Amino acid sequence: MRLAIVRQRYTPYGGAERFVARALAALERAGMEVTLLARSWEGWGARRVLRVNPFYVGSWWRDASFAKAALAAWRREGFDLVQSHERIPGCDVYRAGDGVHRRWLELRRPAATGMERLGIAMNPHHDYLCKVEKRMFEHPRLRAVICNSRMVLDEVRRTFRIAPEKLHVIYNGVDLEHFHPRHGEALRAAARAELACAPENTVFLFVGSGFFRKGLATAIQALALARKPAWRLVVAGQDRHQARYERLAGQAGVAPQVRFLGGRKDVRPLYAAADCFVLPSRYDPFPNTALEALAMGVPVIVSSRCGAAEAIDPGVNGWICAPEDARGLAEWMAQAEGAAGRAREAARASAESFGIDAMAQKLTGLYRTLGTHDRTH
């Protein structure tokens, strides 16, 4: 089967990009001929790349021009099946790794300032995404939607007119060898030394770009409420408003306890250094980072609006907090401090069912049920 996977851009810090990069080889091992449609070929590690890079200025034009050019390219090539990671009406399969944009805006507005709400209302990109999202989910050519959590499946079903049988939950896959506790054991001492963490420090790790959506403010506030001078919060990820969060840490009196590292291509040393992974997201379909932490044997705390909560057995391999509840998060962090040792084995065990090859088998099984069909309309 000739499969096209569509993803516009590559960034080493993007969850969807990391999903695609890991899935490509696994799908080819399962017997698929996979071609990636993207603006560039750098970073993906793909054997076949069809470059689709039309001119654009601004985010709205960027997405619209790519969608039009990608649609023309896959029709011209005549692939058996097209799976898009971008909102493009007319694809056969859409992987809803970014969730439902309309739902994110519903959750974002109440927590935004007046100026931020005005900016959301005036931004044509949001209007474009909501409109094209509806057209795509309700397009007659769409044959399947891959949801990376039941949370996303329920949101799609509630928001759009789509047949329930088109919706499939296939969780993200993690490389269980690359992210393995034995690597953590080898890296832990040096990684903690690099972070200037003493043996008595409890290290909470936050990994994610887009600090507002990922709930970094809640994590900083929880650290302040806990009043535990030996706790450390290590933040890895990119955000253009990082200075705002640095000021928040200073105002909360915990600046010496918070370390901002920026984006990291290899996060294994950070998982190795961590005692607990924390991600109190406002909205997160299913972050790969949570699975990576579990696979490395690190217990996690995620919010109830995070798809990774579906992989958590509270009190065993992690905990589930309410979004924007700093006091509740502080209490779970205190529990994690006492239970992190015994939760490590459970964390790794819970990740075993999320292997990248197991995910690829589920994907190929879905593709084969869809089969080939006429692409002339």
Q: In which band, very low, low, confident or very high, does the pLDDT at 43 lie, cut at 50, 70 and 90?
A: low
Q: What is the CATH number of domain 181-354?
A: 3.40.50.2000
Task: For residues 317 and 315, give the distance between their C-alpha atoms in angstroms, rounded to a whole number.
Answer: 6
Query: In terms of CATH, what superfamily is 2-173+356-370?
Result: Glycogen Phosphorylase B; (3.40.50.2000)
Pairing assessment for the beta strands 144-147 and 93-95 based on DSSP bridges: parallel
User: What are the residue ranges spanned by the domains of the chain?
Assistant: 2-173+356-370, 181-354
Task: Please say if the pLDDT value at position 46 is more than 90.
Answer: no
Report the percentage of the chain scoring pLDDT > 90. Answer: 80
Whether residue 24 contacts residue 45, with contact meaning beta carbons closer than 8 Å, is answered with yes
- Can you give the pTM of this predicted structure? 0.91
User: Which whole-number Å values give the CA distances from 203 to 230, 253, 254, 260, 273, in the listed order?
Assistant: 9, 18, 14, 13, 7
Fold: same for 2-173+356-370 and 181-354: yes
Instruction: Tell me the per-residue pLDDT of 173-212, one tens digit each, with 9 for 90 and over.
Output: 999 999 999 999 999 999 999 999 999 999 999 999 999 9
- The sign one gets for the Cα dihedral 269, 273, 275, 277 is negative
**Angle value at C-alpha 152, between 374 and 112, nearest 5 degrees:** 125
Beta bridge partners of 159: none
Tens digit of each residue's pLDDT (9 = 90 or more) over 65-122: 999 999 999 999 999 999 999 999 999 999 999 999 999 999 998 888 888 888 888 9
Half-sphere exposure of 106 (CA within 13 A, CB side): 9
Q: What is the pLDDT of residue 376?
A: 37
